[in-house]
Chain A
Amino acid sequence: MWNKREEEVVRSPAAPPAAVPSAATSERREAAGIGASITIVGDVTGDEDLTILGKVEGKIDLPQHSVTIGQGGRVKADIHAKAVSVAGEVHGNLVASEQIVIRKTATMLGNLSAPRVGLEDGCCFRGSVEMETPAPKGRTALAASPAASAPKPEPAARP
């Protein structure tokens, strides 16, 4: 009997938001998932983070939330989100207001636009990258950093 009661308490976070105290609601981030066996053709919009392990074709628009394409996830869509992480396969253009990360397991064909873009070595990527970089004085000065010049200059022979 007491077991049943405890189980109910454990389940409560999954209950409708009205059942959860308001303070907890404001801090907790909702997340939705598209499972590996699910295929969606059409537009995806919403008000929570999204993890995709299945297939999506169309358009994904979650400007206030993050979108994660897990390994095995396959997306043929343009994605507009706050942050995008790709470990699966994406054909489409990604626009993020915060950052985009392309994992080493990813296959990404399309253009990336975000203030921060991370590409893990080994990823398969074809497309363009546009980062909005803060440039207080216009451009970064082209100066050879002493620390980076580890490989010593190679004297050349006449060709």
Chain B
Amino acid sequence: MNPRRWYSVIGMRLRAVLQRDRVERDLDKELRFHLQQQIEENVAAGMSPDEARYAAMRRLGGAEQIKEECRDMRRTAYLEDLGKDLRYTLRALRKSPGFAVAIVLSLGLSIGANSAIFSAIDGVLLKPLPYPRADRIARLFFSSNEYPEFSLNPFDFRDLRVRAHSFEALAAFTRGDVQLSGSGEPVRLAAFRVTAGYFQVLGLVPALGRAFEEKEELPGNGRVVVLSNRIWRTQFGAAPDIVGRKITLDLQPFTVVGVMPPGAEHPGNEYHALPYGDSVDAWWPFTFEGDPSQRGSHYVEGIGRLKPGVTPAQAQAELNTLLGEIGHEHGGYGGWHMLVIPLYREIVGPDERMLLVLLGAVGLVLLIACANAANLLLARATARQREIAVRMALGAARARLLRQMLTESLLLALVGGGFGALLAPGGVRALVALLPAGFPRADSIQVNASVFGFTLLVALAAGVLFGLAPAMQSSRVDLQQALREGARGATGSRHHQRLRDALVVAEVGLASVLLVGAGLMLRSFVNLVRMDPGFRPEHVLTASLSLPDTDYKTSAGVAHFYDQLVANLAAAPGVKAAGAGSDLPWTGYDENDGGFTIEGEKPAPGEEFHARYHVATPDYFRALGIPLVRGRFFTEGDRTDAPNALIVNETMARVYWRKRDAVGGRVAFSDNPKEKDWMTVVGVVGDVKDRPDAAGAEPAFWWPMLQVPFAQMSVAVRADSGAAQLANELRREVHRLDPTLAVADVRLMDQIADAGVSTARFAFFLVGLFAGLAITLAAIGTYGVISYSVNQRTHEFGMRMALGAGRRDVLRLVLSQGVRLAMAGVVLGAAGAAILARVLRSLIFEVSPADPLTFAAVVALVLAVAVVACYIPARRATDADPMVALRSE
């Protein structure tokens, strides 16, 4: 159809609707003209004027009928009908506002919740990653059965980069924070050391200056830096001449070569993880230092941009072939292979399931709200049955009645959807505030057009869903029956009652599914909170420090600094104990070592001894409240001139020394240890897991800080009370020793512990909220149906009581009706939950998805709610007056 014709067609239709009167007048005039012509012709043929007029009118036929046919041709009837339907609906709704408000409120709440969860899905899962052709970016890992996603060795990476053909660009990166000084208090920058191809892989181009070149990967050439837009603005006042300027990082001069544009987002990392998004302050070159033949240490993370048409699987196959070659050149990598995972999967993988579970949960709530609305509509339709029967008897088409009833449900749904859309922004803000720490892409969750589009679709679907069944039902009335019954006010047909019962059973069932989910989440959360963390987080202040190697050239210097710092802190007023360690509990693991030797023990066949390794000052354990199980803590005596000491955790003692006492056992970090290489276990401390939801603790050991000093340490200070007030004291003590040091990550141990359970709390809170909404809706639904049925049966109850039934009998009769429905619902719901709960397995902690306690509690709760919901109508039933019943008979 050409556009000109479209214009005229649309214009016609609009005119037909908007200028209806004028169009009608024109039609009238047109037909009158025709009549006039006919009359004139008749007169010309010799008839008298009157005769001519009658003949012409006979010939013309029914003018009204012609007009009606012409109107049909205008095809505007449906619009006029819609207007009529809307007016009729509004009139009907105004007559029963409670009904309308109940539907709009319950729909609005559930649609709003759906929109909020959808906005999270949209921002986290659906929105493309903020890189050009992000689907071609993949993460590279060194992988074994035990460590599926391990870091790469830099020289292995360099060899792979030279030999691989599957990638447009390959890059390695590793966390390498730096301290920026020069003006005011030094600040620690969250920074990454990256190889030359890094920005190319991500498809990011510096807004000013340039990215890194390969020659900057050579030792000694790496004193250049690319700044983030944020740091450029906040620290350098967005100076346009920043490129080429020398700045001081870790007390060394670095040349700024580039500034990234805003939105140059970090793709996430594992080792000393930094959250996704705009979290990186600066990038500087990774330099390949040391002996390329030594390939034992793995600490860089790989990322690559696949060539067009190359799949991750193909790239992985190529890398594995290459790894075989490289391994052959360097003594073999038995049990290890390369893993290539699309970046998107790596980022959202772990949280995808939780979001989908939440979407499922709100979806169920919406279904329940729809069932409720359908029930209310059905009850009304039953009440209107006589009216409908009369209309049908007078010739109303069934389709026309259906349309009118669907108009009503769609109108309610759209108003509910509008209400939901109003709630959505607030819901999204609350949701984002509740999100667990470090949730990927949380910053891209927002209410936008696609969320509103989703809301509209959901509202329309809901309107059709809850409107169709009642509409179909009531337009299928048996006319004779309905008109005859009408004499005594239409009673709900058996059919309607069955449908209503089925809807209540479905509501209760769906609510039970949600309750089981919420129950499992609650149990899981309680397990996490009640679990002995292995440390005492109360009243502990922590911070992290990093000593620049330019100022602390020797390990003795590093050891002296931390020794002095913890001694000074311990002497401060209000401090119970102060210590420093290479890391803090529940922050993931920093380092893991494998292949060491334990005197007199052999690892299981095909495996090697491995353990998390840490460094601690003597009072580190006391400050964190990690208990001593056997032996002793480190002391000031465990220094370089004393025998090498080691503290292990309970898991390591139990797994590696089995029946023997680990205290006194010896460990060495070489294959053929000489006497001086041995380290003696002096103590066993309690287990602390990597993360609170980890299945168990991993073997772990600690070196004494004085013997193995680390430049980057976390400080922990236990106070008598009010640890937060020690923050200034801590800063003062650090700067008394070294005014150029940045004190970073000042946090209470409570906050760290809390972040550890935030995911479980988030999941429990939301699913619990939805389950609460669901059971409330289901209770309202049950109440509605029982209440309706009591109204219908008032006469029957009166008769029963007239025949000698007691109030208790009637009460029991009504309650048992409700409980039967609830029972059917909860049985179906529990069966459904038993199947669905399996998807929760990875989201719950130390609870079986078939937890009997949870299921039993849900059944009890649902039945109790059903009894409460039925009690009020049941009481009303007992008020039935036997005399009234008898008289009306």
A and B assemble together: no
| A residues adjacent to B (C-beta < 8 A) | none
| B residues adjacent to A (C-beta < 8 A) | none
